[in-house]
Copies of this chain bind each other. A is one copy, B any other.
Amino acid sequence: MKTKQLAIAVLFFASAALGHAQQTKPLVSPDVLPDGRVTFRLNAPKADEVVLTGEFLDGPKTFARDADGVWSVTVGPIAPEIYHYNFTIDGVRTIDPSNPQLKTGSTPSTIASVLEIKHPSPAFYDAQPVPHGEIRTHWYPSKSLGTVRRLTVYTPPGYDKNQSARYPVLYLFHGANADENAWYRLGRANLILDNLLAAGAIKPFIVVMPFGYGVTPGGAQADNTAKFSKDLLDDVIPYIDGSYRTISDRTNRAIVGLSMGGGQALNIGLNNVDRFSYVGGFSAAIGNAASFPKTYAKITGNEGQVNSKLKLLWIGCGTEDSLFGASKSFSEWLTAANIKHTFRETGGAHTWMVWRRYLHEVAPLLFK
């Protein structure tokens, strides 16, 4: 508080001395206007060019500078949603320095600012006055990887109170450049499930969100799925079944992921149908058709067993996603191999807007 008071005092005297009283007002950015347009601002008297990029734009927008060196641009109206955006200041892609809401992850390429435009009534991902589950962060020993790693878990409302209840488990994976917090911080997985549970649309289950890298994020990725898979099967699942009141049979275990994590979920799930009954890939990074026979070697010739064991194989992708073709090819390959599955073609690109909706759509299909 004192630091802030000091900062305000310094600003006050500085601007009084310079005769720029308007600089004492804090800059508001993003500024959501009553008509749904949004103004972005940046105080940068020395900059030559400021550009806005964001998931709510068709392309970059250039800011205009006023006489005091404050840059601004107004866009929209923008539909209610949660979006990510960046400022590029003299060629350097960075954040909106006036906005405390940040998207972070395991590599710098993911860093962005967050613009949330609230719906007139609560959205399916908003915190509502319903019973809430918890997010638990564990530091667990991974023998496979020789390190202590973080792991995020969602427990449904009432988990601590109902000491005799046991629960199914969804293993839920993030994408490249993200981390074990992405599904709840960006994906709002906990709030989506709290709301579905309050509406009676799902039964309560635990969600396990591991860190999806077995190798250094952003480095060479060749061994990543193999290493991640070993950590998941040999360390994470036994740790969870030993720490939580799970139902640890295959009919109560689901595996779902997005992008890189979608590829991991499909790879691990379909090659281990003795351990998982529900498998899902959201906008999955799954390579190309030539790789499918090798990657999914355990499926070929075992169609009957796969079909009888899997209660759900769900593949979804947005048509504006550069990975759409891969998902479509994979669905066609599965169809040719007589593997039952759902291929869900939706609008949307490679964004959390799509993945929040997919979780909302798939969660009610689990553990039926």
Contacts and interface: CB of A to CB of B under 8 A. Distances in A.
B90 A46 contact: yes
A1 B176 contact: yes
Nearest to A263: B1
Contact of A92 (B47, B108, B160, B194): B47
Given A100-B105, A148-B127, A243-B160, A323 B2 contact: yes
Contacts of A217: 100
Contacts of A97: 92-94, 108, 111
A128 interface: yes
A4 interface: yes
Interface residues on A, range: 35 or more
A333 interface: no
Interface of A: 1-4, 6-7, 26, 42-49, 89-95, 97-100, 102, 104-111, 127-129, 132, 134-141, 148, 160, 163, 175-177, 184, 190-191, 194, 217-218, 221, 243-244, 259-260, 263, 285, 322-323, 326, 350
Copies in the complex: 2
A128 B102 contact: no
Q: Which 9 A-B pairs have the closest CB atoms?
A: A132-B139, A46-B91, A135-B137, A1-B285, A46-B90, A1-B260, A127-B148, A1-B176, A2-B285
B132 A134 contact: no
A323 B285 CA distance: 52
A91 B137 contact: no
A3, A26, A94, A138 interface centre (most CB from chain B within 10 Å): A3
Contact of A218 (B4, B95, B104): B4
A4 B109 contact: yes
A221 B42 CA distance: 25
Given A46-B48, A94-B94, 5 more contacts: A1-B260, A44-B90, A104-B104, A134-B136, A163-B163
A303 B221 CA distance: 65
A1 B93 contact: no
A134 to B, nearest CB: 5
A281 to B, nearest CB: 13
17 contacts: A1-B285, A2-B322, A3-B176, A4-B221, A6-B322, A44-B92, A45-B91, A46-B90, A47-B90, A97-B108, A98-B108, A129-B141, A134-B138, A136-B136, A136-B137, A137-B137, A137-B184
A1, A48, A140, A322 interface centre (most CB from chain B within 10 Å): A1
Nearest to A148: B127
Contacts of A47: 90-92
A214 B93 CA distance: 34
Contacts of A4: 109, 176-177, 218, 221
A163 B284 CA distance: 41
Nearest to A138: B134
Contacts of A190: 139
